[in-house]
Amino acid sequence: MFLRVEHVSKHFGGVTALNDVNLTISAGEIVGLVGDNGAGKSTLVKIISGVLRADDGRMLVNDCEAAPRSPTDAALLGIQTVYQDLALCDNLDVVANMFLGNEKVSGIGPFHLRRLSEVEMEHGAREALHSLRITTLSSLRVPVGTLSGGQRQAIAIARAVTRAANLLLLDEPTAALGVAQAQTVRRLIRELKTRGIAVLLISHNLEDVFATADRITVLRLGRNVGSYPAAETTPQEIVAAMTGGREMSWLR
């Protein structure tokens, strides 16, 4: 089991965002995390990614207790997050975005006096994209702002994977994408699974979830409602769990 979240709670003043929440995910497993607005999905993701600290409960990574205090701490644990806004710089090209904050340099002396290793970074970006079968980019030197939504999402995912991700948290990865672009992103998510990378897919789009996830965890009002094998349930059952139409224990 790569990640285990046990009995996690989080309060903001008098508001309880999470109450005794559990979540597990194994290497090479895709888990869909779903729930209505206010269900606690974002709070849980922020705790896992180190943006927030839980008030109660614990988190284990590879059976070792972990409490990341920042996204940098989470990255050292092999946890990377791709948020809905992607955090890409539209005016920079694909290569620069792939290595943003992790630039390769050559020479000696202080960092600001060294030269960027453009050839090394371009080769690294090309290899990373090729390994994930991302082949729709005509050039790695075009500004990211000129690319389609699907291509931008692919770049953000590839960047996270190159930073030694063992668990990728994907926040609404197909939001505002067309049908063809969404299909490309789904294929990319399934490709991550074949590489042994665990994926936590946070989405309101049940079509995406059922097309990719092995298991679906439902939150409602900050609590676990159910954990469903995707192949053994239906969208109607998931919607009922999200809206309170049917309760079940979090382990099925």
Question: Structurally, how many domains does the chain consist of?
Answer: 1
110, pLDDT greater than 80: no
108, pLDDT greater than 90: no
251, pLDDT greater than 50: no
- Is 99 within the bounds of a domain? no
If one compares 48 and 248, the residue with the highest pLDDT of the two is: 48
The confidence score (pLDDT) of residue 41 equals: 96
The confidence score (pLDDT) of residue 72 equals: 93
Percent of the chain exceeding pLDDT 90 equals: 77
113 pLDDT band, cuts 50/70/90, is low
- Is 195 within the bounds of a domain? yes
Q: What number of CA atoms fall less than 13 Å from residue 35's CA on the CB side?
A: 24
**Domain CATH number, residue 33:** 3.40.50.300
The confidence score (pLDDT) of residue 112 equals: 58
- Is 140 within the bounds of a domain? no
For 63-101, write each residue's pLDDT tens digit: 999 999 999 999 999 999 998 888 899 999 999 999 988
Mean pLDDT for all residues in the chain:
91
The confidence score (pLDDT) of residue 60 equals: 98
For 195-217, write each residue's pLDDT tens digit: 999 999 999 999 999 999 999 99
Which residues touch 79 (CB under 8 Å, ≥6 apart)?
3, 48, 49, 50, 61, 68, 165, 166, 167, 169
- Is 146 within the bounds of a domain? no
What's the distance, Cα to Cα, between the start and end of the chain in Å? 17
Distance of CA 218 to the CA centre of its chain: 17
CA 210 → CA 36, 75, 231, distances in Å? Answer: 17, 28, 8
Cβ neighbour number for residue 210 with a 10 Å cutoff: 16
56, pLDDT greater than 60: yes
CA 166 → CA 17, 30, 32, 204, distances in Å? Answer: 27, 12, 16, 24
- Is 115 within the bounds of a domain? no
For 1-15, write each residue's pLDDT tens digit: 899 999 999 999 999
Closest of 203, 195, 158, 159 to residue 177, by C-alpha: 203
The confidence score (pLDDT) of residue 250 equals: 39
- Is 138 within the bounds of a domain? no
Residue that is written with structure tokens 């290497």 in the block = 27
State which amino acid sits at residue 53: R
The confidence score (pLDDT) of residue 116 equals: 85
Closest of 181, 245, 176, 248 to residue 217, by C-alpha: 248
49, pLDDT greater than 90: yes
DSSP string, 231-248: GG--HHHHHHHHHTS---
Cβ atoms of 169 and 82 closer than 8 Å: yes
- Is 249 within the bounds of a domain? no
The confidence score (pLDDT) of residue 109 equals: 66
The confidence score (pLDDT) of residue 20 equals: 98
CA distance 84 to 82: 7
The confidence score (pLDDT) of residue 164 equals: 74
The confidence score (pLDDT) of residue 115 equals: 81
Mark residue 64 as left, alpha or beta (left: phi above 0; alpha: psi -120 to 50; beta: remaining).
Answer: beta
Which residues touch 171 (CB under 8 Å, ≥6 apart)?
42, 45, 81, 82, 83, 84, 202
The confidence score (pLDDT) of residue 246 equals: 55
Domain interval for residue 76: 3-90+163-243
55, pLDDT greater than 60: yes
- Is 208 within the bounds of a domain? yes
